[in-house]
Amino acid sequence: MTKPIAASTALLASAFLSVAAGAAPGYSADPQQSRLEFVGMQAGAEFKGTFHKFTAAIEFAPGDLASSRFDVQIDLNSVDTMDKDRDTAIRGGDIFDVAHHPTAHYVTRSFTKTATGYAAAGALTLRGVTKDVPIDFHFTESPAGAKLDGTAKLKRLDFGAGQGDWKSTDQVADSVKINFSLVLKPKT
């Protein structure tokens, strides 16, 4: 009986403190349970890639969108499309060019409430090119933290991810879908 009360008191207190400090509660994505994937299209068939290593610092409060912020760092070397030849090609100079740009970086700028969830305006930096990539997501609070599920769509050629032969979209489509599901733990 005392536990829920204590927890809600703590929650109230932290919410109050957050509001007082003008900051949404901070979370970090649990690397074990979180997923960051992309779906590309090659020769008319979809292929899925996963980034095994990324860090996501999430500050989000449904009631305080103004001070919410996502900051995601993706280790491009950790790409895994279930085929080492394809992974090697993607890491290579013509696509991700991990030798010169080992990480991709996503930062939000603003949030809006949508009919089904939230939308974020933000910018992705990949291969040294920064472009706007909007994301759509759902945010679900839980006793242990929160869950963040969302999607985005980008054009790989906007970032130069496709040089030489890979510039052609005959084989590899320009459009790439991004899916993510983050299990968020409160920042300590």
Residues that bind another protein (CB under 8 A): 42-47, 81-83, 85-86, 88-89, 164-166, 168, 170-172
Closest distance to another protein from the beta carbon of 91 (Å) = 12
Task: Name the H helices within the chain.
Answer: 2-21, 84-91
Closer CB to another protein, residue 5 or residue 45? Answer: 45
Closest distance to another protein from the beta carbon of 171 (Å) = 5
Closer CB to another protein, residue 106 or residue 166? Answer: 166
Closest distance to another protein from the beta carbon of 161 (Å) = 13
Closest distance to another protein from the beta carbon of 80 (Å) = 10
Tokens of 10: 């703590």
Q: Catalogue the E-assigned strands of the chain.
A: 26-29, 35-42, 45-51, 54-59, 69-75, 79-80, 103-113, 118-126, 129-132, 135-142, 145-155, 175-186
Closer CB to another protein, residue 63 or residue 164? Answer: 164
The answer to whether the beta carbons of residues 123 and 130 sit under 8 Å apart is yes
Closest distance to another protein from the beta carbon of 40 (Å) = 12
Closer CB to another protein, residue 14 or residue 171? Answer: 171
Cβ within 8 Å of residue 22, ≥6 positions away: 67
Closer CB to another protein, residue 50 or residue 181? Answer: 50
